[in-house]
Chains A and B, each alone.
Chain A
Amino acid sequence: MTLTVTAKQKLGDFSLDAGFTSERGVTALFGRSGSGKTSLVRIIAGLSKPDEGRIVLDGDVLADTEKRIFVPKHRRRFGYVFQEARLFPHLTVRQNLLYGRWFAPKNTPGESFGHVVDLLGIGALLDRRPGRLSGGEKQRVAIGRALLSSPRLLLMDEPLAALDDERKAEILPYLERLRDEMNIPIVYVSHSVPEVARLADRVVMMRDGRVDAIGTPSQVLSGPSLSASDRREAGSVLSGTVERVDEHYRLATIRLSQATIKVPDAHVAPGHRVRLHIPERDVMIATARPEGLSALNTLEGRIASIEPDGEGTIRINIDCGGDIVLSRITAFSGERLGLHPGMAVFAVIKTVALER
């Protein structure tokens, strides 16, 4: 699967001029509101026309302004999950789910109804009407409806943005199962660092209608292109395997490349592959092994590089046995400790979030 997108569009004062190529898996379009993510994904879906541009999925040209090709939205077979669920109020949940079935090509097997219903946990809702569902339930039904139309590509436009944190936590695990169990490439629009860190295989960072950076979540989410507010959440994204779970203290031990990290209150079982998000502001640096600290995780490593940001802080990449842990400290502390690349240090990790 290869999706290639280039698009230019002028809407009043705002101009969009962006492009990216995405392979299989989840591609996140990431950026603040107003950065053009939604405009771009609407162009991909065929909901709006670019002034100039080209959209190609696996050699199938869906839009090409030069050749005057524009495949209308109902012939693209791109599933779209909107920010608001947009369920049909006059149909039951079951009828909503099956709406796209009428148009799905008969010869492709598609996802079975039962599988999608199980995956999203909406079996108990089938005979209800959308008006009686909670926000999280509506969004799950909307995702199921898009999946059941046998899409070649799933576009999700901030599907969690309208939900509160509890509902988000309710849906995120379903999105992960979707990513892992369904063989459908996903373009996921979001402005939330934790969501992108948790879901994306690849991040396209947008700013003011342009693409700012493209890369893996750990590259982009720790990169310099993050805005000040996002930087607070910026940090390293590491993958590992659950080694054991201590039931008494409710601590899970995660094995990274070499180091291990303990995570509190994690609902995981040994053997699970997991991702950890470590905010860079929550990593302290010690030049000697610290003692008498409440912090659970102290990793031994070597400074790989130091990047000053010109605003009085520096970011330190610490190589901890093959995994890069990021730490942001003041330039003053850096000088006081005499930090330099190659130096052996200890990374004291205050918080770590598990992003299963």
Chain B
Amino acid sequence: MTELADHVAAIGRPIKRKEDARLLTGKTQWTDNIQLPGALHMAILRSPMGHAKITKLDVSGALKYPGVEAAYSATELGDLNGSVPCVWPVTDDMVAPDFPALAKGEVRHMGDCVALVLAHTAAQAADALEGIVVEYATLPAVIDMEAAIADGSPLVHSDKGTNKCYTYHLQPQGDSAYAEAKAKADVVVKRRFINQRLIPAFMEPRAVVAAPMGTSGELTIWSATQVPHVLRVLLTLVTGVPENKLRVVAPDVGGGFGGKLQCYREEILCVALANKLGRPIKWTETRSEDMVATHHGRDQIQDIEIAATKDGKLLGLKVDLIANMGAYLQIITPGIPLLGMFMYPGIYKMDAYDFTCIGVFTNTTPTDAYRGAGRPESTYAIERIMDELANEIGMEPMELRKKNWIKHEEFPYTTVAGLTYDSGNYEAATEKALALFKYDELRKEQEKRRASGDKVQLGIGISTFTEMCGLAPSRTLGALKYVAGGWEHCTIRVLPTGKVELVTGTSPHGQGHETAWSQIASDTLGIPVDDIEVIHGDTRTSPYGMDTYGSRSLAVGGQAILRAGEKVVEKARLIAAHQLECSPADLEFDHGTFRVKGDPSKEKAIQAVAFEAFTAHDLPDGLEPTLQAESTVDPQDFSYPHGTHLCAMEVDTETGKSVMRSYVCVDDIGIQINPLIVEGQVHGGLAQGIAQALYEGAVYDSDGQLLTASFADYLVPGAPDLPSFTTDHTVTPSTTNPLGTKGVGEAGAIASTPAVINAIVDALRPFGVNDMPMPAHPMTVWRTLNAARQGGK
């Protein structure tokens, strides 16, 4: 079936996904499916303690178990015990402790790796962990971030003398600007928000297979990763296996959400051991391991202060963050709060901004990117405080937003944080959302329920968000001390028979790149979507790439597809002109066919040109055979999608139970390539953002025990826990890339959390409630309401 038979443009069409056939019939290639002859399975003994000295460790007992070939602690592993890299030293004086794959004498979080066993089967390896003798002497753990930076706190890394990782300031208007703005203000509203710790909880557990393969000493690593290209560089740097001998493959990957944007301990161990032993090493985590050993997300204390005039004009914003790094730094742990740093002002105009972040070590699993990575936190804080300010000055919360947001005609607009937003139309998105939501009707119903003292109160929550997508101009990343670039690569080959191989450096794990990238190339080349094969996720077949995270793949990778496609067409034009005996400028190119202007009977299809380029019998002098081109694009700037999200919550004031009555969002992500995929991305993001508001939270006790270390204890919402959503869009093209696209992967997760909490607070405002801790479980809602009723504000 050719989707483009009618020669309608592929871009913008809700084409059903190419990926689905194998996923729906069980023909998928997950890493754990790979079974290699002679493979040894790795099992890891993990710390059950939050913080302890290892006083005795003897792995020899494990060797007596059936099927066991080897067992290692840090002692036996010696130089092969590589350290997990951090590639974002955010300040020159950042404290960066060593993070060995296997702990050296001390464990610092529950799940820290202590020892490992290699056996013929996974079950044998797991059994043999019982044979390892290990004794711990408990050390005082520190879990609370403020306690960690107080004098006399136990230290996570005693050799560092502090639990403070770094302090980062951003004061674009100078160090006194906020104080001056505040002095002019009639109203200053201050709040402390706790953006709780979350667990990514992708459905496919992490898995790694590392094997000596091929004939040239090459080591192949299959990993359930979002970042095969980044991973290859880092594994080379950590293990010393030369990059040209290392092939990293991300086969089908079952979700990531930032959690698979990493260079993990287990990946390092598998590579080091496969290289040492010369045989395949395989490891697949259990879900219980995942919950303690895959990095976590969020976990910030946000002190935010906003200064305004009494009629609601914003003057300044001050943000003081404490961000939990966990026990160690992973790939971009310290940078996550800084990705949010630029976005606290949101869509609003003001005169002064003052940001400080303190990164803190605690005896917890390291944090890192989780869907939105810094931007959900900033959006939560600004959208929550806008509602609190509105309440303080007695203004309708949407009116306050309208008064302060950047107007459509003011784009491009440089914000108080120093970013230049490319484009936006907050007015249009909001107008559409208000109508779909029936905002005025719901406000009237809310009034009625308030007046009648209904035990179920109705609350309306608003979130008019924007985010920063398209990571990122490499120079900007350099200025922020991030050690990699932000470009993306594409190679397009038109094969002799007219089929296309599109090689991308992005690495999808559920996003549908195979379909969407085909659509872009189809329009550029005039070749049907179904004739285009998208090749990705293997450093041998797609050697250049920066992978998939941060809603970057389309905004950056899409440009590379477009440019590579254009180069192919330009080369094809030279060949076609030569063979049609005209000047290249005399050819027009339409739907895959070159025609001589004024003599349309003289034509040549691009597929035919590809065959001529292959035989090379009759090419213009000096032109190289084959029809292919590549492009590596460094983006000009970020892009800034936005949207208006509205949530109606019914809150039972007797039980604290909240039920989502409706959720409406109108997102503007610029030009959409495939609206079906866009909607799906929005739905999934909403679910994760709503889950932060209502259901999920990783909880530690004071000894560092993770109390939510399984799916039985950590509440990933199920189908009955969520409603159907009403989604719509407006289209304001990005001006920073030629496709006009922005990015959508994280939008729902960024926007929805404050919309939900604002709705619950709005429902309970008459009782004096002016904040709601997350997750807003019924007990939490009930307690907060009761405290407010008993006179606490």
Partners in one complex: no
